[in-house]
């Protein structure tokens, strides 16, 4: 058994392997998100937390890993772009391309996520992104209302499935994911995708209607890419690390013209 396959069996809780997907799939279709419950083992939580810190602190490194540090001001508008790794710090906001790491890859490829992805995506499957969203104990950065798609993503079709796993508790005051239920059914707010303009947020009354999705470490959520979602700063005093993977058909093509089109990692 390869190192990644053996990690996979240790990481997925045995009871999660045969999880009945009828409920989660129905919730995901109706609300745009679904709770999968606790799926990641204690060993998996410990390993992925430790690896997250190893990567942020430079103890483990891979060429091509993407890093974005929090802004000193704590404001989303002030986030640094294009700076990459800025030295050891546990205040990186986002790490991408975690499929390069065998421990994260093992989690991406676990049999439960494969079953979910195969029930929603026809044919062979790749990932668009595998991302650590980190909110340091000192608070991190608020993430405004957004959708994960549109021309901003540079694809010939929008992916629809993301699976988000809490590596730490993400309580209501700890920067948990917040959503506007059912908003995925309206498609993209703008053709560009990404951040949702304030006029749309006001028109929908999104701030008043948002639903917080607190999660315990090891719990996972399915999130439709078109679901309006956001997360606030972390006031728990503890790190809030979460890992999210976007699965899509392997037929999805990158439309970017300025540089060579991106190749996406096949997983199933
Ligand atoms: O973990 C978070 O704070 C938000 C995750 C998110 O927005 C995303 O996966 O697009």
CA nearest ligand 1 atom 7, residue: 230
> What is the CB < 6 Å shell around ligand 1?
133, 143, 148, 162, 164, 177, 229, 231, 242, 244
CA of 145 to the centre of ligand 1 (A): 10
**CA-closest candidate to residue 47, choices 16, 4, 85, 90:** 4
Which secondary-structure segment (H or E) carries 178?
strand 177-179
Q: How far from the centroid of its chain's Cα atoms is residue 97's Cα?
A: 12
* 90 belongs to a structural domain: no
Atom index in ligand 1 nearest the CA of residue 143 equals 3
Atom index in ligand 1 nearest the CA of residue 175 equals 3
CA of 160 to the centre of ligand 1 (A): 14
pLDDT at 1: 45
- CATH label of the domain that carries residue 10: 2.60.120.620
The pLDDT tens digits for 7-65 are 555 899 999 999 999 999 999 999 999 999 999 999 999 999 999 999 999 999 999 99
* 72 belongs to a structural domain: no
pLDDT at 138: 86
Q: Which residues contact 61 (CB under 8 A, 6 or more apart)?
A: 55, 85
CA of 179 to the centre of ligand 1 (A): 10
Atom index in ligand 1 nearest the CA of residue 148 equals 10
CA nearest ligand 1 atom 9, residue: 244
* 59 belongs to a structural domain: yes
* 109 belongs to a structural domain: yes
What stretches in the chain show pLDDT beneath 70?
A: 1-9
User: 242, 245, 246: which to mutate for ligand 1, most atoms within 8 A of CB?
Assistant: 242
Q: Which residue has the tokens 């439960």?
A: 112
CA of 174 to the centre of ligand 1 (A): 13
The pLDDT tens digits for 112-125 are 999 999 999 999 99
Domain count, the chain: 1
Q: Which domain holds residue 147?
A: 3-63+98-266
Angle 56-76-162 (CA atoms, 0-180°, nearest 5)? 65
Sign of the C-alpha dihedral computed for residues 122, 125, 127 and 133 taken in this order: positive
pLDDT at 73: 86
Integer Rg of the chain from CA: 17
- Report d(CA 88, CA 90) in Å as an integer: 7
* 218 belongs to a structural domain: yes
Cα-Cα end-to-end distance for the chain: 18
pLDDT at 129: 98
């Amino acid at each position: 058994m390869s190192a990644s396959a053996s990690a996979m069996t240790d990481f997925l809780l045995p009871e999660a392997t045969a999880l009945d997907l009828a409920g989660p799939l129905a919730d995901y279709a109706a609300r745009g998100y679904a709770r999968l419950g606790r799926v990641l083992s204690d060993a998996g939580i410990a390993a992925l937390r430790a690896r997250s810190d190893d990567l942020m602190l430079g103890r483990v490194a891979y060429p091509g890993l993407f890093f974005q540090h929090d802004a000193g001001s704590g404001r989303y508008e002030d986030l640094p772009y294009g700076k990459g790794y800025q030295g050891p710090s546990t205040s990186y906001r986002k790490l991408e391309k975690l499929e390069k790491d065998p421990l994260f890859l093992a989690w991406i490829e676990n049999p439960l996520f494969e079953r979910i992805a195969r029930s929603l995506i026809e044919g062979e499957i790749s990932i668009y992104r595998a991302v650590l969203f980190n909110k340091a104990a000192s608070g991190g950065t608020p993430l405004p209302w957004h959708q994960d798609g549109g021309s901003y993503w540079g694809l010939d079709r929008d992916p629809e499935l993301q699976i988000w796993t809490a590596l730490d508790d993400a309580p209501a005051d700890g920067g948990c994911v917040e959503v506007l239920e059912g908003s995925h059914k309206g498609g993209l707010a703008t053709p560009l995708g990404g951040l949702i303009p304030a006029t749309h947020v006001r028109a929908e009354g999104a701030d008043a209607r948002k639903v917080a999705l607190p999660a315990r470490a090891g719990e996972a959520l399915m999130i439709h890419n078109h679901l309006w979602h956001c997360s606030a700063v972390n006031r728990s005093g503890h790190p809030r690390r979460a890992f999210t993977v976007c699965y899509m058909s392997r037929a999805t093509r990158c439309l970017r013209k300025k540089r060579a089109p991106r190749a996406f990692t096949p997983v199933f």
